[in-house]
Chains A and B, each alone.
Chain A
């Protein structure tokens, strides 16, 4: 009978419910998060245009670098100012 020591963190990842999806974007504030990968701005500029044409409020955000998780302050700012966020993962 062999006994082994667990090499893992001994944690099980928790699951969280997704935030409820709005039925319509009318009256919402949409955050556009550029992770600063090359040409992410091209995609988000076009999205911003399309949203603005529908009269939707758009706020733009950017991560300092695409290689690291978004700073907690940025995440907090987005969550307090926006109802919806669209993130561009481009190359």
Chain B
């Protein structure tokens, strides 16, 4: 849509669907016959209009009107060397006579009539135009389906799906998705494993469309992809492992409210579009851009349903500071934290009303992460519910105090965890018998707060090979 070259002289833009334009139809014929310079007329909706000038140049595509940024028709311009030098809008006899240099115009007409809105001001037309322009910037290969081809089936056949239906990534939808970020569609965000291919904002937007995201989720998806593809998070290994884990996304900051994420009832379950589709978009990027597919590089023995999507917002209006603040960000910053987690399992304690007792419950349950006799090897995330957190709030236990107390209870006695101890062959080598080892490495125990207001239950998700051996949790700020 290049800017059309304007002819020198007078240029008028009109539309039939405008009473003022109809009124000035004969005036334009008069100007054409009597003015010292040539007149060119463009019509936005009907090239046979105005009949008095024998029709007009066809501007139904609105290329001229958009190029001129018209707000009103009729608009009369003066053009010199292809450039606009002056314009008037609507109908005013005095203005038109001065502008055209033709005296005594249109004797029978009223002196003044306001113009009408240019078609370029129609929001639907403007949006469609922006989409067409955006589509021309897209670089991804276009696949044209046959008339008889079912689009849902076509996407399955090409191997793009995780097994669930996808939203067809049409150019129009991808352009709308890209409006969710200020980043250049061709910016390379990262290298996506396992194939380590350069991944643009556009490719992520395509996968976000397929996942079912709205454009306002795209910045979170971009941050999640960035976090996943760091050496610390080690998405390659997480994908390839025979273990259950996949990326679990915890989103923090005001954006969670702005885009309507769920941190309350059923926060880790279905029913919320943002929660469901942001996590899925990351998985689809790994699958489609990175080439990581189950049964190929994804070697999971059993896998788990959280590998379709596992994303939730933290409930931040709470007694304990939220996860991103604990990890060094400001409360008003938007972040996404990735944890290499397995599925959630429940912790029930409906009796404890003291933090001492409840902390012992958590310690007992956390100890069994991966295996009760394995220290340091696996991380964990505790998702504490409102009713459990209230026990700590009522007693004035800070998050730091809880960490300290639960950490003390998770010191494992070597004699109890060596291979063969307690009749179990699994365990640490005999050389560790005299040592005391913590269940979790420093940084290997995450705490999030989410859930509905009723239920003295919390959740634990085990991690994967921890830290530099496997995966380190990574937090990234969400950029616009």
Residues of A within 8 A of B (CB): 1-11, 13, 65-69
Contact = CB atoms under 8 A, between A and B. Distances in A.
Contact of A7 (B171, B231, B289, B470): B289
A68 B195 CA distance: 13
B140 A65 contact: no
Interface of B: 138, 140-147, 149, 151, 154-155, 160, 168-171, 174, 192, 195, 197, 199, 202-203, 206-207, 210, 231, 234, 236-238, 240-241, 284, 288-291, 465, 468-471
A9 B149 CA distance: 23
A2 B145 contact: yes
Given A8-B160, A9-B291, A69 B236 contact: yes
Contacts of B207: 7
A65 B469 contact: yes
A13 B289 CA distance: 13
A1 B145 contact: yes
Given A65-B469, A67-B234, A67-B469, A4 B197 contact: no
Contacts of B288: 7-9
Contact of B170 (A4, A6, A10, A13): A4
A7 B471 contact: no
A54 B175 CA distance: 66
Contacts of A67: 234, 237-238, 240-241, 465, 469-471
Given A67-B234, A67-B471, A3 B171 contact: yes
A3 B291 CA distance: 22
A78 to B, nearest CB: 20
A10 to B, nearest CB: 5
A5 B241 contact: no
A10 B241 CA distance: 26
Give the dominant DSSP class at B's interface: mixed
Contacts of B174: 5
Contacts of A5: 138, 140-143, 169-171, 174, 202, 206
Contacts of B234: 67-68
A3 B142 contact: yes
Contacts of A3: 142-145, 170-171
Contacts of B210: 7
B131 to A, nearest CB: 13
A65 B195 CA distance: 19
A71 to B, nearest CB: 11
Q: Select the residue from A8, A9, A10, A66 with max chain B CB neighbours within 10 A.
A: A8
Contacts of A1: 144-147
Contacts, number: 90
A29 B207 CA distance: 47
Nearest 8 A/B pairs, CB to CB: A67-B237, A6-B141, A9-B197, A5-B140, A7-B288, A67-B470, A7-B206, A2-B145
9 contacts: A4-B155, A6-B143, A7-B169, A7-B288, A9-B192, A9-B199, A10-B141, A65-B470, A67-B240
Contact of B140 (A2, A10, A68): A10
Given A2-B170, A4-B169, A66-B465, 12 more contacts: A1-B144, A2-B149, A2-B151, A5-B141, A5-B169, A6-B206, A7-B284, A8-B160, A65-B468, A65-B470, A67-B240, A67-B471
A72 to B, nearest CB: 12
A4 B202 CA distance: 13
Nearest to A65: B469
A65 B236 CA distance: 13
Contacts of A68: 231, 234, 236-237
A1 B469 CA distance: 50
Given A65-B468, A67-B234, A9 B155 contact: no
A50 B143 CA distance: 56
A4 B142 contact: yes
Contacts of B145: 1-4
Nearest to A91: B242
B150 to A, nearest CB: 10
Nearest to A5: B140
Contacts of A9: 192, 195, 197, 199, 203, 288-291
Nearest to B147: A1
Contact of B289 (A2, A8, A65, A66): A8
A26 B238 CA distance: 39
B205 to A, nearest CB: 9
A67 B235 CA distance: 10
A16 to B, nearest CB: 15
Contacts of A4: 142-143, 145, 151, 154-155, 168-170
B237 A2 contact: no
Given A67-B241, A67-B469, A2 B168 contact: yes
B9 to A, nearest CB: 41
Contacts of A11: 195, 197
A8 B203 CA distance: 7
B371 to A, nearest CB: 13
B138 A2 contact: no
B193 to A, nearest CB: 9
